[in-house]
């Protein structure tokens, strides 16, 4: 990657002093860069369209900004008192919405600790998100991205890397997707008692019954596992942060033994059982629980405060992503006329998984064979001058629509 954009003008004498720009100067440069990008965005959309038409491979790399148009906010403040307000929280598992980042409250709720200590609040939050995502409309932007993959690229030549946990790409029928933080549309056992995820996208009409605090008691009544007691005690005094992990580890072993070996039940059948537990008519619905061991259920998503090993991958997504990357890099190395375009959309920098994915490919493929088209309404300093990056300062829907217009125009011209 190139040096910082301001380095060239200041790197003459003492290199060390060149980085000592005042914050005000950086702000001025960023504003100038931003103004420039405003004026360039339509031209750059046409450049992006040319890249799409010329490329042999495409990576779509999407962050929370991609789902804003679906009605899924990047971040909003979650009210600690009302479950209903959880409905508008989060299009991502925690990284991409820079401007309205709500911080600790969101992180506290979407955490492994809250799942253990206050499962009622955790479930209210996660179930509301799920219901919202089920209701969310898929936008023209999603449809257009899929059309590009299907119509402009050979089968298997386009891949999607996303930090979004709302399942939108899969609902739209994208063929190859790696959800790097998992998905809140798949659930799993919190212990977990087995290596299995329940794909709730199989049930497009399913909604969790609205969460109420009473369900917390229901969870504790029905679950004889030690965690029920822990949850209640911890809810009273959420200060017990220290030994929780050890407790959970101890419980996990005990419960797994009590439940016994994994049954041969398929994941699809388990998903049906999971959904079926809420079919209780007028009776108070239960808290989401594992259909095998009755432990609390949770989304198969990376929670704050846990590592990647805590949740299950779905269907080998990570392996497919790794294989695709290597296959593309090998193909580019074998034939220097081949081109890769990365379309990065709505990806922030707080936890830069999506940016890293595209930039890593650009670095390895080189800017002669790869261009990263970065679509973001709030560009970072350096986006506009980094070798191989085409920065478009625009929201996802508007930029995709304009690029698509250019694709159609250029395609018509090539036919004429």
Q: Applying CB under 5 A, which residues contact Zn ion?
A: 189, 193, 290, 292-293, 295
Q: What span, in angstroms and rounded, lies between the C-alpha atoms of 344 and 162?
A: 10
Lookup: tokens for 247: 């407790």
Whether the bond into 37 is cis, omega within 30 of 0: no
Instruction: Closer to Zn ion by CB, 69 or 288: give it.
Output: 288
Helix extents (H) in 110-213: 112-117, 119-135, 140-152, 168-171
Task: For the CB of residue 293, give the shortest distance to Zn ion in the complex, in Å.
Answer: 3
Question: How many other C-beta atoms can be found within 10 angstroms of the C-beta atom of residue 30?
Answer: 18
Cβ 291 to Zn ion shortest distance, Å: 8
Sequence-ordered strand ranges (E) for 358-406: 370-375, 389-392
* Integer Cα distance of 58 and 294 in angstroms: 43
Q: How far is the CB of 193 from Zn ion (least distance, A)?
A: 3
- Choose between 28 and 258: whose C-beta lies nearer to Zn ion: 258
Integer Cα distance of 87 and 124 in angstroms: 9
Q: What is the nearest approach in angstroms of Zn ion to the Cβ of residue 256? A: 8
Looking at the Cβ atoms of 252 and 377, the one nearer to Zn ion is 252
Q: Tokens at residue 126, please?
A: 């996660």
Residue 313 contacts residue 180 (beta carbons within 8 Å)? no
Q: Which residues are catalytic?
A: 181
Q: For 67, how many CA atoms within 13 A lie in the half-sphere containing its CB?
A: 33
C-beta neighbour count of 205 within 10 angstroms: 6
| CB nearer Zn ion, residue 94 or residue 182 | 182
Binding-site residues for Zn(2+): 189, 193, 290, 293
Residues in the chain: 416
């Amino acid at each position: 990657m190139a040096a910082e954009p301001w380095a060239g003008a200041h790197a003459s004498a003492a290199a060390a002093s060149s980085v000592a720009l005042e914050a005000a100067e950086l702000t001025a440069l960023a504003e100038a860069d931003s103004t420039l990008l405003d004026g360039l965005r339509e031209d750059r959309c046409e450049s992006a369209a040319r890249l799409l038409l010329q490329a042999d491979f495409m990576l779509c790399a999407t962050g929370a900004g991609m789902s804003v148009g679906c009605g899924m906010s990047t971040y909003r403040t979650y009210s600690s008192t009302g479950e209903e307000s959880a409905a508008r929280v989060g299009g991502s598992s925690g990284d991409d919405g820079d401007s309205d980042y709500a911080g600790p409250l969101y992180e506290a709720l979407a955490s492994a600790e809250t799942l253990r200590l206050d499962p009622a609040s955790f479930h209210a939050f996660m179930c509301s998100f799920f219901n919202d995502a089920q209701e969310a409309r898929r936008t023209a932007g999603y449809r257009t991205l899929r059309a590009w993959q299907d119509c402009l690229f050979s089968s298997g030549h386009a891949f999607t890397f996303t930090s979004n946990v709302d399942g939108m790409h899969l609902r739209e029928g994208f063929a190859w997707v790696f959800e790097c933080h998992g998905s809140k549309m798949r659930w799993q056992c919190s212990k977990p008692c087995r290596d299995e995820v329940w794909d709730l996208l199989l049930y497009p009409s399913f909604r969790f019954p609205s969460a109420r605090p009473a369900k917390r008691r229901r969870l504790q009544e029905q679950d004889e596992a030690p965690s029920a007691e822990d949850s209640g005690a911890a809810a009273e005094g959420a200060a017990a942060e220290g030994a929780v992990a050890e407790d959970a580890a101890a419980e996990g072993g005990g419960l797994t033994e009590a439940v016994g070996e994994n049954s041969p039940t398929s994941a699809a059948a388990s998903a049906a059982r999971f959904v079926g537990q809420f079919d209780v008519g007028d009776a108070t619905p239960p808290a989401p629980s594992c259909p095998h061991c009755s432990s609390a259920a949770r989304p198969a998503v990376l929670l704050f405060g846990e590592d990647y090993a805590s949740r299950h991958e779905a269907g080998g997504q990570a392996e497919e992503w790794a294989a695709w990357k290597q296959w593309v890099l090998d193909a580019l190395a074998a034939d220097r006329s081949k081109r890769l375009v990365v379309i990065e959309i709505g990806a922030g920098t707080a936890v830069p998984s999506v940016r890293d994915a595209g930039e890593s490919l650009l670095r390895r493929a080189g800017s002669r064979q790869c261009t990263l088209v970065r679509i973001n309404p709030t560009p970072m300093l350096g986006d506009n001058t980094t070798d191989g990056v085409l920065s478009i300062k625009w929201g996802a829907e508007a930029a995709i629509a304009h690029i698509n217009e250019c694709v159609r125009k250029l395609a018509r011209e090539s036919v004429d």
